[in-house]
Structure 1
Amino acid sequence: MRALVVCTGVEVFPGKGTRTGIWLGELIHFFDVLTEKRIPVDITKPGGGVVPVDPKSQDSKDEIVKRYIGNEAFMDALNRVPALESIDPEPYGVVYLVGGHGAIWDLPGNEPLQKFIEAVYQANGTITAVGHGVAGLLNVRNADGSWFVKDRYLTGFSNMEEKLVSFVSEEVPFYVEDKLIEKGAHFTKTVIPFTEHIEMDERLITGQNPNSARKVAQKLIEELWEK
């Protein structure tokens, strides 16, 4: 069983030019927990190539994040990831959608990603996502054509958290919380923004924000070990 980590390929805010990409800690904490358990993890993005990293996410006091930033082989691998479109879902039992603002532009409308998620889930796999990465679930459909998120309990980057990030709140095309609710999801969140919160609904595990990424991975491991 392998895990596929899906990253955004968007490196700047359209119309603004400010750099964005993945939030590095959301990738690192998930990767760290799974590799500690010797679960093979592959990283991809639409189109392949370089994974863009939000510069703000590299200025971290998190010791685990700093350790990976100092790992030349790990960081170099992010410069040449395979294209999502070229990957066969068959070996994968887990999909993880990394957050960071870039994800809200290219993940929701990506048909290969939608088909990949459906294939893994239908094969009894687990779908995980955190922060803005949860937006990648918005247009996924079940085998019967219904929305994947409809009637499911999940979380993601909240409206309040988006508003508190004032430098981008007016630049985003939509708020993740609003769109999920529009699609019929039961959205949950913490009272205090940017604190750890995860939600689980059958084989769907989501985290609200960067501080929730490690908990998503730990919950995934807990579920895999119980099966």
Structure 2
Amino acid sequence: MAVNSTSGRRSCLVVLPSCKEGVSAQSFIQCFTLTHSAFTVQLATPGGKTPEFINQDDQSRRWLNDFRTKPFAVPLSLEIIDPNRYTSLVIPHAPGAAVDLANNKDLGHIILQFIRDKKLICAIGLGVAGLLSAQVEENSSWGLKTYSLTGKLLRLQFSRKKSIRSIGKRHTQLQSVVHVMSWKENRTAFGTGQLD
């Protein structure tokens, strides 16, 4: 069990893109606030770069400015993340996930380890594009292909986003993910339950 030795709390890894397309400020604030209340939260981005928060209003701008002064606001690089240290993984709604998370091998290795260990993986909105990185090297298959994924509005969100098309051949996989999510939304409450 991945428990922080100083606080006795479980650890949650929050993965964010580091590209200019960024992460939704509102989604990040909600994710961080909820996870931080129960977990020791660690942020991670490709290269450990500072994430770009988009769609900020006055309130979220003030919250983020205060957040940036905290030591836990500095992300680690995905390259150095040990998946065994975390009990859960969260990828908030982030248009940038299609740009620098969907093909990120380090994130892919982390997600595959989470799958093997049967740990909680939560991707929200366009953050789901980050799940495409979970490619099994031996047979080039997608690590989540036998899992059910849920989401009510994802098909509409993905069909409207031009940035999703930038991930090339994985766009077809992403359409399949959205289709499975749409098909399964009334059969599965949440998450990564195995398909029959």
TM-score (norm 2): 0.73
Give the corresponding residue for 2:29: 28
Out of 10, 16, 19, the position equivalent to 1:7 is: 16
Residues 1:158 and 2:154 are matched in the alignment = yes
| SS at structure 1 position matched to 2:50 | coil
Identity score, percent:
24
1:24: how far off? 1.5
1:172: how far off? 4.1
Give the corresponding residue for 2:94: 100
| SS at structure 1 position matched to 2:82 | coil
Out of 96, 107, 115, the position equivalent to 2:109 is: 115
RMSD: 3.5
Give the corresponding residue for 1:199: 190
1:71: how far off? 5.8
1:179: how far off? 3.1
- 2-structure distance, mates of 1:144, 1:202: 23
1:162: how far off? 4.5
- 2-structure distance, mates of 1:185, 1:201: 15
5+ unaligned residues in a row in structure 1: which ranges?
12-19, 61-65, 190-197, 204-227
Give the corresponding residue for 1:70: 63
- 1-structure distance, mates of 2:129, 2:44: 17
Map 1:134-149 → 2, pairs under 5 A? 134-141=128-135, 145=139, 146-149=141-144
Deviation string for 1:41-64 (max 9, x for gaps)?
11110001311111x2x127xxxx
The count of aligned residue pairs is 178
Letter in 2 for 1:34: T
Alpha carbons of 1:144 and 1:93: their partners in 2 closer, same or farther (altered >3 Å)? farther
Deviation string for 1:26-85 (max 9, x for gaps)?
221122112222x1011110001311111x2x127xxxxx37833644134587322111
| SS at structure 2 position matched to 1:90 | helix
Give the corresponding residue for 2:44: 44
